[in-house]
Structure 1
Amino acid sequence: MFEKVVVIFSGGMDSYTVLNHALKQGYDVHALTFDYGQRHVKEIEYAKNACEELNVHHKIVDISAINSIIAGSSLTDNIDIPEGHYEAETMQSTVVPNRNMILLSLAVGYAVSLKATKVFYGAHSGDHAIYPDCRPEFVKRMQDVCAIANYDAVDIVVPYLHSDKIEILADGLNMKLDYNKTWTCYNGREKACGKCGACQERLEAFEKNNMTDPLEYEA
């Protein structure tokens, strides 16, 4: 029997790389995607399609009801998505309160029910300045808690915690991954906007790797 693991899979390029990283390591991967009311819900369709193509167990869970108690993020509320490169002052509006703690807690519960030993998620160093729940100290404490929260310990695995998006993309390109199968834009329109912080960071990663992003952009 292969070792079971859960991968939190948004459908974005970071989690797509994590998913394939886990598959390359020979794990029996169970992907878990959350609909938390994000305006870029289009990423869920990309997650579904990727898992079907990879023949990966995939569960999509609707937790959008949490928006009745968690508000104030431009990703879930009627607040303009900031444009331009990732900067702490502008991008803080994209923070969804306590999101990763909530998602990790649910993923760990799922892992315990599956008798899976690990939960993977795609935090990386480019997120550290803006998102507190992507920082090494947060990960360390979640690892400590998840080791004792159930009768069966679950390890939180963050393979790219100390890598930036440029390095993550480089690893994915080495794995011959097709990033046209991922969605990054914070706006859920037909094409990626090319202007929000997520698009800007993605485009920069491709440029630094001397590659052209295969995704179609509005501009």
Structure 2
Amino acid sequence: MKAIPLLSSGLDSVAALSIAAESLEIDMALTFDYGQRSAEREIEYAQKVCEHFGIEQQVIKLDWLAGITSSSLVNRDAEVPELSFEDISGGAPAEITEASAKAVWVPNRNGVMLNIAASFAESRDCEYLIVGFNGEEAGTFPDNSLDYVRAVDECLSYSTQNGVKVLAPLIELDKPGIVRKALETNAPLEYSWSCYHGGKKPCGSCESCRRRARAFREIGVKDPLLEKLGH
């Protein structure tokens, strides 16, 4: 069976691809550019991941999506929230992580991307879309949840002739669990970019950086990306 991953080059999407590649034929990968701060870095790193797996990368530009959002991921005049390890570990009021999620929310981003990817999958006779949705982020992002995956599958059963389905191998995992699975499958984590910013090195302070750092710290392993960058 064949599959197409949605590959942002983030920790989750790289881990999901690596896990799925053990049992599925990976046809190609899609990377989306919707004007996010880290777009250039994501595209660069996703290309490295594609080279690792020997697959084609296609970059899809969604300029219109940038034009309709005030998200700090896109809007350079807005500040990207910075969270502490305590904030993401349940030691702070839920309002803090909820506010962070709201600040980086892009209108129906996953819905748009999945439907575009489903068109590619149907046209290339692929049965699955691979996504990095996971249990940890489902708490603040409902479009990372198992309920959402099931709802999308139901919709795609009507909108694709071959009944494309969403495969989310990380759906029950937290970030430490994701890192463990990624390392077990020799995922190229040295080319996984999680930071909301697009600098030469991860900022280390945004929510995505914090969750990633905490995961590596909890399992006692150095982050391959930071080692590669000499950070």
Residue number among 134, 150, 158 corresponding to 1:140 in the alignment: 150
Residues 1:76 and 2:86 are matched in the alignment: no
Partner of 2:58: 59
Between the aligned partners of 2:54 and 2:112, the Cα distance in structure 1 is 27
Taking a change above 3 Å as real, the CA distance of residues 218 and 90 of structure 1, as seen in their structure-2 partners, is farther
Between the aligned partners of 1:218 and 1:210, the Cα distance in structure 2 is 18
Between the aligned partners of 2:30 and 2:188, the Cα distance in structure 1 is 20
Partner of 1:127: 137
- Coordinate RMSD, CA, aligned: 1.7
Between the aligned partners of 2:60 and 2:155, the Cα distance in structure 1 is 23
> In the TM superposition, what whole-angstrom CA distance separates every residue of 1:134-158 from its partner, at most 9, and x where no partner exists?
1222111101111121222101111
Partner of 2:45: 46
Between the aligned partners of 2:121 and 2:158, the Cα distance in structure 1 is 14
Taking a change above 3 Å as real, the CA distance of residues 100 and 115 of structure 1, as seen in their structure-2 partners, is same
5+ residue gaps in structure 2? 89-96
TM-score (structure 1 length as normaliser): 0.93
Identity of aligned residues (%): 29
Contact kept, 8 Å, 2:27 with 2:126, in 1: the verdict is no
5+ residue gaps in structure 1? none
Secondary structure of the residue aligned to 2:27 is strand
Partner of 2:93: none
| Matched letter for residue 197 of structure 1 | E
| Matched letter for residue 104 of structure 1 | L
Partner of 2:13: 15
Secondary structure of the residue aligned to 2:14 is helix
Partner of 2:3: 5
More helix by share: 2
Between the aligned partners of 2:26 and 2:42, the Cα distance in structure 1 is 23
TM-score (structure 2 length as normaliser): 0.88
Query: After TM superposition, where is structure 1 displaced by more than 4 Å over at least 4 residues in a row?
Result: none
Which stretch shifts more, 163-172 or 127-136?
Answer: 127-136
| Matched letter for residue 45 of structure 2 | Y
Partner of 2:94: none
Aligned 1:99-138 pairs, distance under 5 A:
99-138=109-148
Between the aligned partners of 1:32 and 1:90, the Cα distance in structure 2 is 26
Between the aligned partners of 1:66 and 1:90, the Cα distance in structure 2 is 20
> In the TM superposition, what whole-angstrom CA distance separates every residue of 1:74-115 from its partner, at most 9, and x where no partner exists?
111121111014422233201111000000000001101101
Number of residues of Structure 1 aligned to a counterpart in Structure 2 = 216
Between the aligned partners of 2:4 and 2:184, the Cα distance in structure 1 is 23
Between the aligned partners of 1:191 and 1:169, the Cα distance in structure 2 is 20
